[in-house]
Amino acid sequence: MVRKTVTIQNDIFQTLELNQIINQYQSFSEMVSSALQFGT
């Protein structure tokens, strides 16, 4: 596994929190990995 730092805009992060999308994952890293796999 490769470890990288991801920077996102504040409004995107707030939208993820408001819609409780982050809560569906064990970690922010898991959410980002899932999103990247979904997009390919």
Query: For residues 40 and 18, what is the distance between their CA atoms, to the nearest angstrom?
Result: 26
C-alpha distances (whole Å) from 3 to each of 6, 14, 32, 34, 38 are: 10, 24, 12, 15, 19
Taking only the tens place, the pLDDT of each residue in 3-38 is 999 999 999 999 999 999 999 999 999 999 999 998
Full-model pTM? 0.71
